[in-house]
Amino acid sequence: MEYKFGTVLNCIDGRTQIPIIQWMKENFGVDYVDLITEPGMDKVLSQGDYSNVYRIKNSVITSISAHDSHIVAVAGHYDCAANPVNDQIHFQDIFLSVCRIKTWGLPVKVIGIWVDEYWKAHVITS
């Protein structure tokens, strides 16, 4: 049996993992979600140094190569300890992260997701 995979670049915060996985399954029909995590992932991707971003990029490439993932989502969330900024700054960081990933030229759809204070996921950019 062949499974469909998606990839999420998410914060390490455990409160966000299940909502994001469920949302990806419901909205993209994937069976499994590869999680690549960093504290404050949206900030790391939008403002991080080259070595961290390069390491994350290699993880995304592994997910695409090994599991034929066709969707990559960058997630930010409410109450992030590693990126303690207001929602608007998070939205900007997510947007910039999506833009950065799109420059990698990977054969995937890239979207940005926000997980709100009720632990519900919402698309904010695609």
Q: Which burial class, exposed, middle or buried, applies to 121 when counting CB atoms under 10 A from its CB (0-12, 13-18, 19+)? A: buried
Domains of the chain: 5-125 (3.40.1050.10)
* 1 has a pLDDT exceeding 90: no
Q: Across the strands, what pairs with 32? A: 5
Which 3-state string (H, E, C) describes 15-34?
Answer: HHHHHHHHHHHHHHCCCEEE
pLDDT in tens, 48-92: 899 999 999 999 999 999 999 999 999 999 999 999 999 999 999
Q: Among 26, 54, 22, which residue's Cα sits nearest to residue 38?
A: 54
